[in-house]
Chains A and B, each alone.
Chain A
């Protein structure tokens, strides 16, 4: 058995889209179940009252990372065929700041605002509207910023290649950072929710 399944032709584009649909439904369902359909809960992380988002996201990262590492080691998965988005350092840094600003102001990130919207929350709908307006605005100004958008290209960079460390060592370091982060998050929550 070889993964990524799509890359090895186990199913075609149409089937991939159907599978993506169900994965998307599952993703939305669990986001909602984790309480991520509430802007109040999400915004809580910026006041250090509720760091669930941080914990969930970091848990997802280390679960996926350990899964990919070991599946590759056991020969189920070809990591070279897993898509790595190329890094454009400055544009992505600016993009991240805009993203963060929107998150702090609206209380949602793109995925969670969809969850909030479909569970009937008005602020979710407004956020969704803002997101599409932003996409439209970006599309309109893209020709003027295209050069900058493609600047400071670093190619398909990973942390391991950037620091020239073995993948396994980098995996361990990220696990350690995550666990320390979880511990720190618990402490922050205890102090700030009083």
Chain B
């Protein structure tokens, strides 16, 4: 058998195999793997982890706000994009991106997380506690004067992050606390999304 004949045979076998299989993607959504990720808590990141990553700015993160538009425009995490579940599934968000999902409490975000995991997104997380968690941990962290040294260290970190994200650390004292309201309302506009343009520049043809 000549080399040409061998190569032709390989092409025919691979081609015929492709025709039988039909689709180049295997439908093997491993649900138990998804369950394992939830059990081992690899499905979420904490507000502090998110805030630190955003502040450092080293890693590109796509933040998706799954609440309604009224809530979104009254306050959202800086850089977040408003989307419904359906919009998210049909959006240009790609599998290789790091995606953080949040809703008010976390229910919608968790549902979206499962959907994206089933679509084989590798790096998708929910925000632990949702926007409520963000408010409690980052915007209005409670600083207690009687905290231990370890706690104090963490509180200092939270305070620093709170100020960075224009929140108001709540210092507990005998006087009544101020009402929790973000110091500055984020302006009514969609976050700038330079991602696609940048990717285009990189990819070329």
Which of the 9-residue segments A27-35, A66-74, A100-108 touches chain B?
A66-74
Residues of A within 8 A of B8 (CB): 179, 182
Known: A83-B205, A85-B205, A179-B8. A168 touches B18 (CB 8 A): yes
Q: Are A78 and B95 in contact (CB under 8 A)?
A: yes
Q: For the complex, what is the distance from the CA of A2 to the CA of B122, rounded to whole Å?
A: 10
Q: Are A175 and B12 in contact (CB under 8 A)?
A: yes
Q: Are B26 and A75 in contact (CB under 8 A)?
A: yes
B1 at the binding interface (Cβ < 8 Å): no
Q: Are A167 and B15 in contact (CB under 8 A)?
A: no
* Chain A proximity of B32: nearest CB distance (Å): 17
Q: Would you call the interface of chain A mostly helix, strand, loop, or mixed?
A: helix
Known: A72-B25, A167-B24. A7 touches B96 (CB 8 A): yes
Residues of A within 8 A of B17 (CB): 70, 168
Q: Are A81 and B23 in contact (CB under 8 A)?
A: no
Q: For the complex, what is the distance from the CA of A56 to the CA of B6, rounded to whole Å?
A: 17
Q: Would you call the interface of chain B mostly helix, strand, loop, or mixed?
A: helix
- In A79-129, which residues have CB < 8 Å from any B CB? 79-81, 83, 85
* Chain B proximity of A23: nearest CB distance (Å): 14
B16 at the binding interface (Cβ < 8 Å): yes
What's the count of A-B pairs with C-beta under 8 Å?
Answer: 78
Residue of A nearest to B59 (CB): A9
Q: Are A166 and B22 in contact (CB under 8 A)?
A: yes
Q: Interface extent on A, as a size class?
A: 20 to 34
B70 at the binding interface (Cβ < 8 Å): no
Q: Are A167 and B11 in contact (CB under 8 A)?
A: no
Residues of B within 8 A of A66 (CB): 11, 14-15, 18
Q: Are B22 and A167 in contact (CB under 8 A)?
A: yes
Q: For the complex, what is the distance from the CA of A163 to the CA of B120, rounded to whole Å?
A: 27
Q: Are A80 and B205 in contact (CB under 8 A)?
A: no
Q: For the complex, what is the distance from the CA of A133 to the CA of B21, rounded to whole Å?
A: 47
A188 at the binding interface (Cβ < 8 Å): no
Q: Are A169 and B25 in contact (CB under 8 A)?
A: no
Known: A66-B18, A168-B19, A175-B11. A72 touches B95 (CB 8 A): no
For the complex of A and B, 3 pairs with smallest distance between CB atoms: A175-B15, A172-B19, A72-B24
